[in-house]
Copies of this chain bind each other. A is one copy, B any other.
Amino acid sequence: MPRTSEPGRSVSSRLLDVLFAFRAGRSRLTLAELTRDTGLPHATVRRLAMELVEAGALERASDGSFTVGIRLWQLGTLALLSLPLRTVALPFMDDLHTALRQHVQLAVLEGTEAVLVERLSSGRAVDVMSQPGGRLPLHCSGVGKVLLAHAGSELIEQVLAQGLPAYTERTVTDPVRLREQLDECRETGVAVVLQEATLGADSVATRVLDDEGKVVAALSVVVGAGSVDLRTVRPAVIASGLAVSRRLGWRPSARIEQGACSGPGATG
């Protein structure tokens, strides 16, 4: 007699569970791994995975392992097309990159993490900390702190409740200090982070606002720790952030929206 596991779950949610089992570092999964990760019976996982393969959402290698399919990647690129933010920000990021010769990053809020939407690198053979599509913690990255500071108290509490893992010995793990920093960031619109996410990397981040004064993204410059006087970076980042915001329709006279979680990214 089948039909045992918890009911109330829709087929769609199960299918999406299989799909989203793929993540950074786990981009190639066997059937057994998928079964473990989703917690679903292996017969179910197999059927769903095969349907995803048939549709081109997943691909199956000759060794039986599954990967995300090119077709799904294609579909994903549409997300950026319908994100005017990136198109608008790119030229300004380019200018900032030309002026400073440092990493320039653009990130948006997604659940309880920051997602790197675009990145311009300085040298050719620089350390690749994170690639577009990569995720950064909200509590200890430049872009993360900016996004968290303006995301509303609900998300802040959620992140604090999840705990503040120390990525380096310099990560701020004290909730009280983090709150202070977020308050300050909300005042100034800027977050300066010193080797909190990665040893040897400092970052200066600022908010990007849309025409409604909502924080839709964070723009940051990442430099080698101590290699550059951050006082020279800060004004440039602020000015570029304002330029992008202006181009998105924001005007200095407009109120900057605090409170409510911004955008559809704050679903999770």
Contact = CB atoms under 8 A, between A and B. Distances in A.
A196 interface: no
Interface in A27-65: 27-28, 48, 51-57, 59-61
Contact of A76 (B15, B55, B72, B108): B72
Contacts of A67: 78-79, 82
Interface string A65-78: 00111111111111
Given A12-B11, A51-B10, A52-B12, A22 B75 contact: yes
A264 B68 contact: no
Interface residues of A, number: 54
A16 interface: yes
B111 A56 contact: yes
Contact of A69 (B28, B54, B79): B79
A123 interface: no
A82 B28 contact: yes
A19 interface: yes
A79 B60 CA distance: 12
B78 A16 contact: no
Given A68-B82, A264-B59, A131 B73 contact: no
Contacts of A152: none
Interface in A153-193: none
A82 B62 CA distance: 14
B27 A81 contact: yes
A252 interface: no
B77 A16 contact: no
A232 interface: no
Given A70-B115, A76-B77, A132-B77, A267 B56 contact: yes
Given A48-B12, A56-B267, A133 B20 contact: no
Contacts of A53: 264, 267
Given A27-B82, A82-B27, A83-B70, A131 B77 contact: yes
A110 interface: yes
A7 interface: no
Contacts of A79: 59, 67-70, 72-73
